[in-house]
A and B are shown apart, each in its own frame.
Chain A
Amino acid sequence: MVSKRVDVAVIGGGVHGCSTAYHLAKKGFKTALFERDYISSGSSGRSAAGLRYQFGTEVNIRLAQYNMKCLKSLGEDLHYPGDLEYDPAGYLWIAYSESQLAQLEKNVKLQNELGTTGSKVLTVKGIQEVAPFLNTEGMLGASFNQEDGHINPHTLCFAYADAAKALGVEINKKITVTGLISKGGQVAGIHTNKGDWEADAVVCCAGAWTQNIGRWVDLDIPVIPERHQILITEPVERMKHPMTLCLDDGSYWKQCPNGTFMLGVGKEEVKDTSFYASWDYLEAATERILPKMPILEHIRVVRQWTGPYGNTPDFQAIVGATPVEGFYIDCGWSGHGLQFAPSVGRIMAEIVNGEKPFIDVSMFRYSRFEEGDLFFEPACI
Chain B
Amino acid sequence: MSIKLIKDHPILDFGHEEKKMVTFTFDNKEMKGFEDDPIAAALHANGIQVYRITPKTERPRGFFCAIGKCSSCFMIVDGVPNVRTCVTPLKAGMKVETQKGRGVLKSEEGEER
> In the complex, A touching B, CB below 8 Å?
yes
State whether A298 touches B80 (Cβ < 8 A). Answer: yes
B21 within 8 A of A: no
Number of A-B contacts (CB under 8 A): 33
Q: CA separation between A342 and B32, bound complex, in Å? A: 60
Over the window 6-40 of chain B, the binary record of Cβ atoms lying under 8 Å from chain A Cβ atoms (1 yes, 0 no) is 00000000000000000000000000000000000
**Contact indicator A236/B107 (Cβ below 8 Å):** no
Whether A138 is near chain B, meaning CB under 8 Å from some CB there, is no
CB distance from A239 to the nearest CB of B (A): 7
Q: Is A299 an interface residue (CB 8 A)?
A: yes
**In the bound complex, CA of A326 to CA of B97 (Å):** 65
Give the complex CA separation of A132 and B101 in angstroms.
22
Residue of chain A at shortest CB distance from B113: A132
Q: Once the chains bind, are A236 and B106 in contact (CB under 8 Å)?
A: no
What is the CA–CA distance of A240 and B112 in the complex, to the nearest angstrom?
12
Report A-chain residues with C-beta under 8 Å of the C-beta of B101: 237
Number of interface residues of A (CB under 8 A): 16
| B104 CB contact (under 8 Å) in A133, A236, A240, A296 | A236
Known: A133-B113, A300-B82. A237 touches B103 (CB 8 A): yes
Contact with B along A272-315 (1 / 0, CB 8 A): 00000000000000000000001111111000000000000000
24 CB < 8 A contacts A-B: A132-B113, A133-B107, A133-B113, A235-B102, A236-B81, A236-B103, A236-B104, A236-B105, A237-B101, A237-B102, A237-B103, A237-B104, A237-B105, A239-B105, A239-B113, A294-B107, A294-B108, A295-B105, A295-B106, A298-B80, A298-B81, A298-B105, A299-B105, A300-B82
